[in-house]
Structures are given as structure tokens and as C-alpha cells.
Amino acid sequence: MLLQPAHSLKGTIQIPGDKSISHRSVMFGALAEGLTEVTHFLQGADCLSTIACFQKLGIEIENTDKRILIHGRGLHGFHPADSVLDAGNSGTTVRLISGILAGQPFSSVLTGDASIQRRPMKRIISPLREMGADISSQNGNDCAPLHIHGTSLHGIHYNSPVASAQVKSCILLAGLYADGQTTVTEPSLSRNHTELMLASFGARITSSHASASIWPQPKLSGQKIDVPGDISSAAYFIAAGLLVPGSEILIQNTGVNPTRDGILRAAEAMHADIKKLNLHEVSGEPVCDLLVKSSGLSATLIEGDLIPALIDEIPVIAIMAAYAEGTTVIKDAAELKVKESDRIETIVSNLKAMGADIEATDDGMIIHGGRPLHHAVIDPHGDHRIAMAFSIAGLLAEGGVEITDTGCVAVSYPKFYQDLISLQS
């Protein structure tokens, strides 16, 4: 697909539901007793993989245009799947469901696409084994396919070497089946949707700074969940609105949980003109409308505790930095290497191809911004966030950009290109 330079972007968009919250709504609804009703669920490929896995485990899930109905069967209501559970491209599905399967009285096999089969699973295998789980990697490479023979579990205090909500959530979900308290401490606080949502389903869970604890629980209860818009999807329109001259975009109903709003903090440091309007709460999560106006950006330093709060937005932040005046340094972000692609490599090589002055480091990148970018053919390596970030770059680059594979955006934002076109008058 060819993305060509845009003159100005104007209008209002309603971005799709948050991916992390959509996954969790299905998982926790399945674990609960009674009906869970979810509105504004993200109908992206990743979340549909989660639905398919739980249907295979015997949970009735109705998916209509307007809502998802999950007929939960309680913590002990799952049936063994009659075939391999397929998480597709979704790391959240594999890692969270593993915590649940570890405590079931049956065995499961869990896999996903080629990208998932390369992503590290040792980060969940090790703590689950500490809890007594019987989990192994079929090919002995600490990647999926994973074989999980459900068993009884012990509570542990796990000091995670990485700030990862997927690791944290996996362990907390296993903790529902453990014989006592389970605590996870992270080096920096990662997104806390699991902690907030499990509490609303009635779990006994507490959190303090970068630690969360859960206690075994006989029963969770079905809930009504309205999923806020995904700030990770809003990020592309934040960047587009800031970078394309003469733009003004209202992004409605965006989740701005402080564990996810790092892009707003980074953008503020870059002197972006973004206003938060109509701040309110939806299903326990802070939500607002973002009014974004084109702005001359300056460079910034992105590091430390800020990284987990914007980890998925780094591809598009790198595009912003390439157009900002000065040198932006992104560090402490080695996790980028183990996402849907090696994002240090996919960002740096594609931005270089467009003429940017950028270098990769071990844990991030250094971007000397302010150079005009030009046409290039962009290979997103099947990574939805790379495809969308470079589509935004194409709106500014001389001659636009050609993205070789745009189908991958269906993972998190199936209507991305429709929404982008709707803003080009």
C-alpha cells in the first residue's frame, strides 16, 4: 500500500477498544461465575484468538457486533481442549492463559504463529515452575508450543527481572489456584489492568508500588465491562495530528491509565499541543478525549520507569523523534527486541531507509531528528505496530512510503486505514 503526503488531518475519531482490557475481559469472564457482558470489545485478530481458546476450553462466548457475552463457568469449570490451543500472533493470550492452565486438572498444548513460536516463554516457564507447575517447551527452546500438565500450585514471591504485565498477569492468574499468597514484584510498574479488573470481579488482590499480591479465591463473579479506547491505537493519530501541518484531531474515549499514558508524557516533553478533555472513569479506568493540534516538536530523553508506560508506542514515537528538532535518546527498552518483531531492528532499518539519522543501541536507539525523510519501501516484518507507525511516516515523507504488508494491522486495529482516510479532507 502506498501512503502519500497529507496536507492536513481534521476531524473526530473513535478508536477501537483497548487490546489488553479486551483480552482480560474474556479471560476473567470465563473464570467468573455467571454472565460477563463486554461492550466496545476490540474485534482484532489477537482478541479473537483469546475468545477461540476459551471456547475450546468449554466456555460459551457469544460475539455480536454490539457486545460479547461470556457465560463463565467458574475457576474450576473448564473442559480439556480437544486440540491444540492456538494463540495466533498474541503474546498476551499465550502468557496469560498459561497461568490459568497451570492450575487445571488436565493437560493442554498451546501454540501460535511463527512470530509467537520465536518469542521468549522462559519468563513465564520459570516462575510457573517455581509455583510447582508442570510446563515445558515442546522444542526445548523455551518458546511455544508449550505443554502444560495442570497440577496443584504453591504461592510464591516472584521478583521479576522484567517489567512485563504479561508475566505479572500470568503469575497472578496462577495465584488464583495456589495454596497461599502469591506476590509479583517488578523492576518498574507495568500496566495494571489485571489488578484493577480482577478486583472488580471480586478477587482478593492488592497492589503497592511495583508489587501485586493475590490470594486463592473460591469464586469470581461476572461483570459488565465497557472497554475504553486503546491509547496504543490512539498513538498513531496523536503522532499524525502533531506532525502533519495544519491538523486538528479529536480522539474520543481514550484510556489514559497512568501505567499506559507514557506517550502523553513524552509528547508533553517534546512540546506537543495535546489537551485532555472530558476526563472521566469507565469500568474503573480513566478515560478522556484528546484534542491534538500540529506542533513543532523538540527532542527528548525516554528511559527508566517511563518505558513500560509507552513500550508499544515506541515505533510511532521514533517517527515523532525523527521529525523533532534535536537528538532523542530511547534507552532501557531492550524489551523492544522480543515484541512481534525485533522492534529496535525494524524501526532503525526502516527509518534509515527513509534517510533518517538513527542508530540502534543495545537497549533502544538514538535519533538525530529534523532531517527530511524520503520515499522507501517498508517491510513491517508482520508487525502491526511497525506497519501503522510507518504509515504515519508516509504522510510526511517526500514521495510517501510503500508498506509491503498492511494486513498485519488486523491484529490490533482492523479499521486503521479507514480511520486514517476519514481524516484526510
- Which residues sit at the interface with ligand S3P, rule CB under 6 A? 20, 23, 92, 164-166, 169, 190-191, 311-312, 335
Supply the minimum distance, in Å, between the C-beta of residue 152 and ligand S3P.
26
**Nearer to ligand S3P by C-beta: 23 or 40?**
23
Supply the minimum distance, in Å, between the C-beta of residue 22 and ligand S3P.
9
Supply the minimum distance, in Å, between the C-beta of residue 166 and ligand S3P.
3
Residue 145: is the preceding peptide bond cis (ω within 30°)?
yes
**Nearer to ligand S3P by C-beta: 337 or 374?**
337
Grid coordinates representing 378 are 517498508
Give the DSSP H or E segment for 220.
Answer: none
DSSP 139: T
Please, are residues 292 and 268 in contact by the beta-carbon 8 Å criterion? no
For residues 121 and 92, give the distance between their C-alpha atoms in angstroms, rounded to a whole number: 11
Please, are residues 365 and 354 in contact by the beta-carbon 8 Å criterion? no
Supply the minimum distance, in Å, between the C-beta of residue 169 and ligand S3P.
6
**Nearer to ligand S3P by C-beta: 21 or 397?**
21
**Nearer to ligand S3P by C-beta: 23 or 56?**
23
**Nearer to ligand S3P by C-beta: 166 or 283?**
166
Give the DSSP H or E segment for 386.
Answer: helix 384-394
What is the set of active-site residues?
312
For residues 105 and 149, give the distance between their C-alpha atoms in angstroms, rounded to a whole number: 8
Supply the minimum distance, in Å, between the C-beta of residue 298 and ligand S3P.
27
Neighbours of 273 (CB within 10 A): 16
Please, are residues 158 and 130 in contact by the beta-carbon 8 Å criterion? yes
Of how many residues is the chain composed? 425
Neighbours of 77 (CB within 10 A): 15
Residue with cell 543501541: 361
Neighbours of 365 (CB within 10 A): 23
